[in-house]
Amino acid sequence: MKRRKKTSISARKTPVQDRSTRLVADILEAAVRVLSKEGARRFTTVRVAEEAGVSVGSLYQYFPSKEALLFRLQTDEWEETWSVVGEILADARLSPVERLEKAVLVFFRSEQQEASLRAALDDAGALFRDAPEAHAFVEVTRREVRTFFVELLPDVPDARRSLAADVVLTAMAATAEKVTAQRPDRPTVDAWAKECAAMYVAYVESVALTARRETVTGTRRSPAPRGRRPR
Amino acid sequence: MKRRKKTSISARKTPVQDRSTRLVADILEAAVRVLSKEGARRFTTVRVAEEAGVSVGSLYQYFPSKEALLFRLQTDEWEETWSVVGEILADARLSPVERLEKAVLVFFRSEQQEASLRAALDDAGALFRDAPEAHAFVEVTRREVRTFFVELLPDVPDARRSLAADVVLTAMAATAEKVTAQRPDRPTVDAWAKECAAMYVAYVESVALTARRETVTGTRRSPAPRGRRPR
DNA sequence: ATAGAATACGAAGGATCCTTCGCATTCGCG
DNA sequence: CGCGAATGCGAAGGATCCTTCGTATTCTAT
């Protein structure tokens, strides 16, 4: 079997001189432009190089493959989005439920922001989705969300809580992707985000309830039900 | 601009003789095999023809393009899934909430069933996703679910109810897709389906509550809250 | 049996793509 | 100033693909 590619999906070499640093930056910017304007189908190494005013050869000097370039874009996007969302989830000034609601809204908006880029990345996803590097990335996010859920569902058994966290994370990511793929306008996105947030909150509360009930008479006087309950 | 393709995505001609009917059937079966075994990338008209023991030319006699063939597969899959799910949603022997729960479970399982096919179809989705035929198809499902929601949320204003229906449908489809893409085993899928169903139910109940509250004192003695409430 | 329609065939035209590699340029520094 | 290293270049090799079209074969109905 000679199916496995040898070239990893990570960067090939690191730029050391200034001009190459700039070159890599130019390529990345051009790549974003090409991807969002031309779509995944027409995303070509040569086209990216042209758009960047650079030779294809130079591109391959720093990215071992088209796959790698795409993965880099995906990674950058993901990191930018989660740096913001992560902060919200950790913002102690808000109640856990409020944080969740805000995070969902911001996430949806963020996905919409670069809709065409996201869509194209998604179409191209098959090219790098299976790489171990990609999987590792998602894992980090998952842990972050699980940690946040400790605050959200303190009295729920670990296994159940982790499942709930995964469910909400997956549902949010999948739904936002599908919704923004249709290029909705801002109010529409906000409406969806709000409904979804309401859904996650309702779910989380129901999990808290059933879990507390299952702890039978062990009424350890858990610290007043978190989150605003509907007035 | 010569970008628009002239060939529609629908079938080219209908088989009239027996041998051609068989041929089309063979092609479709072969296409499914190729897609699930080789993946979207290696899904080729020539390969499908070979797998079917047929000439490429014959394939193009009945499918105007590769796109069309893929669309047909997608359509068939979708129809099969929804014929089952639709029945459940209409089964008057069960309470609306029970129907929703059962439908979610069946939908998830159905998606898992042909996971590799679904995944490949999804990867190839960019090729036909935008076709009007595809959009029309989704629309029908949406209407079905909205109709079902009339039973689920009788007292909720139309606009709000439709939104809720769309949210649940989209969330379910998107989540199931993402989850089954990772090839989970049966128990795992069931667990996810159950959690998701719980989530949708919690959401629906919260919508029912807020809507009823907003109808202020208009306590029109709505027919006892549907669905089992947790004991 | 036979013409005309329906089918089937599959080599080849025409398009892209991805990636490499030998060479040319530019940098950093002694 | 001059040289080795770092960069940059882009034509061309090597792979696939999609789709068409001129022919050949098989049916159907008369």
pLDDT in tens, chain B (231 residues): 323 334 577 767 787 788 889 999 999 999 999 999 999 999 999 999 999 999 999 999 999 999 999 999 999 999 999 999 999 999 999 999 999 999 999 999 999 998 999 998 999 999 998 888 889 989 999 999 999 999 999 999 999 999 999 999 999 999 999 999 999 999 999 999 999 999 999 999 999 999 877 765 444 444 444 444 443
What average pLDDT does this structure show over A204-226?
A: 67
Cα A39 to chain centroid distance, Å, stands at 20
Q: What is the pLDDT of residue B192?
A: 98
Q: What is the pLDDT of residue B16?
A: 77
Task: Tell whether the model's pLDDT for residue A229 goes beyond 60.
Answer: no
Give per-residue pLDDT as tens, A179-210. 999 999 999 999 999 999 999 999 999 999 99
Whose CA is nearest the C1' atom of nucleotide C26? A19
In this complex, the nucleotide whose C1' atom is nearest to the CA atom of residue B58 is C8
Q: Who contacts B165 (Cβ-Cβ below 8 Å, separation ≥6)? A: B142, B145, B146, B148, B149
Residues of chain B in contact with residue A125, where contact means CB-CB under 8 angstroms, are: 123
* A198 touches B: beta carbon within 8 Å: yes
Q: What is the pLDDT of residue B12?
A: 72
Q: What is the pLDDT of residue A216?
A: 57
> Of the candidates B59, B64, B178, which has an alpha carbon nearest to the alpha carbon of residue B118?
B178
Contact B222, B212 (CB under 8 A): yes
* B159 touches A: beta carbon within 8 Å: no
* B50 touches A: beta carbon within 8 Å: no
User: pLDDT above 90 covers what percent of chain A?
Assistant: 74
Copy the structure tokens of residue B85: 């799910």
Tell me which of A29-43, A106-120, B11-25 is least confident: B11-25
* B211 touches A: beta carbon within 8 Å: no
Question: What's the whole-model pTM score?
Answer: 0.88
Residue of A nearest to B197 (CA): A203
> Of the candidates A100, A97, A98, which has an alpha carbon nearest to the alpha carbon of residue A86?
A100
* A155 touches B: beta carbon within 8 Å: no
* B41 touches A: beta carbon within 8 Å: yes
pLDDT-based confidence at residue A41 (cuts at 50, 70, 90): very high
Copy the structure tokens of residue B97: 């909430």
Mean pLDDT estimate for chain A = 89
Q: Which residue has tokens 């129809």?
A: B79
Residues 113-152 on B with a CB inside 8 Å of A are: 123, 125-126
Copy the structure tokens of residue B29: 């079966």
**Min distance A165 CA to chain B CA atoms (Å):** 11
- Residue A203 has its nearest CB partner, among B40, B203, B209, at B203
- Residue B202 has its nearest CB partner, among A41, A203, A213, at A203
Nucleic acid strand D within 7 Å of B126 CB: no
Task: Give whole-number Cα distances, B75 to A87, A140, B125, in Å.
Answer: 42, 36, 12
Q: What is the pLDDT of residue A211?
A: 80
- Residue A202 has its nearest CB partner, among B178, B196, B202, at B202
**Dist. CA A170–CA A173, nearest whole Å:** 5
Mutate to test the interface with A, among B175, B182, B192 (most CBs of A within 10 A): B175
Residue A227, sorted as left (phi over 0), alpha (psi -120 to 50) or beta, turns out to be left
b/e map B163-201, b = 16+ CB within 10 Å: bbbbbbbbbbbbbbbbbbbeebeeeebeebbbbbbbbbb
